Structure 1
Amino acid sequence: MKIARLGPAGHEIPVVYVSAWAGSEEVYDASSITADIDGAFLAADGISRLRSALAAGALPILPGAASLRIGAPLARPNNLICIGMNYAAHAAESGSAPPETPVVFLKPSNTVAGPYDDAPIPPGSRKYDWEVELGIVIGAEASYLNTPADAMAAVAGYLVANDLSEREYQLPGAAGQWTKGKSLPKSTPLGPWLVPADEVDPDNLRLRSWVNREERQDSNTADLIFDVATVVHHVSQYMLLEPGDVILTGTPEGVALSGRFPYLQEGDVVDLAIAGLGRQRQTYVRTPAAQATAPAADPVRRAEAAAGPSNGA
């Protein structure tokens, strides 16, 4: 089961994708169960209610689903919590030693965008960078958890995330600050789906990225320095985790910060994929100073994204 939100930005409806015959999928309208996919839905055992409704044949098929924009699978999260340098090779390419304790920072929740929406490059940006990451969706309140094993009960599911970062704003130098480099409009595309936790092995997921169909990142969550359980447990010692929060677990090596690749430019197309969690595609557009957002990608672009890079995912 894959949970998603379809429709224009700000007017998405909740849906469920379910495998059908010959590899096809049916898309069911879940609006009779919930008005949206958010923290309240997750806290009220919403995933189980969706499964029961599907089993009972109570959800109608959504006509024309393939023509609708795919939004982020979770309505604006309460918190976006990020783990930095959580792959040893990425820490090395960033010029840092692997951390001995998780590096934690926050992104504003208003940076969330759909997985196929056009991505605006900030005005004046010279070092805009991609980061494919596994996202953890919190489904139950958690604070001061006793052990990492306890943490898994708080996880509702997983999704694909792109933690876009402006390195010149982020890193030490002329006013370099992490918050500035991580807070830009539409800099956190999520989705396309939220996959329930009991259908995912988060410790063995291949994650990849491409820029203009050239591979940039190819790693596995088995290479995480701090695994999902450790991350959730650790963060719970410092803040109250609530249903609808999203934790981004860090990116592997292969970003532009490494010096091996150019930073993103207008017209570039970035694909990101995590096994079993789907793929994203963003086209990068230059943002005039007076323009805060960019238009969503059209259905043709989304159809191209579904085919993915020629070398697969």
Structure 2
Amino acid sequence: MATTTTTRSFLQAVATEEVATPLRKVQMEGLVILKIIKHCKDHSPSLVTGQLLGLDVGQDLEVTNCFPFPMREEDEEIEADGANYQLEMMRCLREVNVDNNTVGWYQSTLLGSYQTAELIETFMNYQENIRRCVCIIYDPSRADQGVLALKALKLSDSFMELYRSNNFTGEKLRENNLSWVNIFEEIPIKVSNSSLISAFMTELEPETPVIQCDYDRLQLSTSSLMERNMEFLIECMDDLSVEQQKLQYHYRSLSRQQAQQQAWLQKRRILRFKRTCSHGQGLIVPSMVVQLNFIEEYVRDFRVEKSFKVGNPCFYHFGTEAYLCMTPSDPLPSEDVRITSK
């Protein structure tokens, strides 16, 4: 009887679906961070990417190793060679007893301009084969200011569910209470080192005294980065102007469609009394206006917000005024959604 009970409990445990635990933090080895920084700085200002390897343990994602991807152009044969390179690298790491489980990827960025539709598509492709994955973003331009510009990102669960349904309408976005700030979630990063590395780093610490003027030299100016931020902001404003023209064309098409629908309904009411069931003909239904895709607009608003944050209050005020001037102030109809800044 006890054996039967144990077997039944085991079968129930197997049949029970595993409950997905939320990701609490990303634990990275110090060696992995140094590899990422070296790879990104050696090829700056070009954007590079690489593979993250590690383990998924409970609520933590441990990143224990990484390797860079070779820089390639857009070519099918070169892309196939890149896939073979990844498989060969993981096979070699497995032979030397190194963690070869893929937990995500890392990539470099310039002035925080990583919010793209391609990043979302890459996340969704990884999610098809990996239960949990992250993207490590490193910004060499911010590192020049003495900041460890390293962050771990993942897509929010609500956004992934809506993306899989492929139904980005204004009604669905309002139902899920989604905006451009809800696309990505930032996961805390914890740097982990072995005891030997920690002891070695302690011995390397200099014992020279530090005075106040040494700290004053660390306050770097942001004027060198303002020109690039202005270029990014102008580019985003141009894209926003193009999207506004598309939105106006969409509303004109929507008005024409509604007029056609009203005329069709009126015609149907008249013909309903004239035709018979045996000799009647079906009416042609006017085609529907294609819904707008809000992913590009959401990502663009994210990039505009990041372009504002350069640490200069005057530039922030100017950028905010420029963005508000480019954004329409008239309320949109209730059946559509308006893309606004935070």
What is the TM-score of this pair, normalised by structure 1?
0.26
Q: Normalized per residue, which structure has more strand?
A: 1
Q: Normalized per residue, which structure has more helix?
A: 2
Max radius of gyration: which structure?
2
> Relative contact order (alpha carbons < 8 A, sep ≥ 6): 1 or 2 greater?
1
What is the TM-score of this pair, normalised by structure 2?
0.24
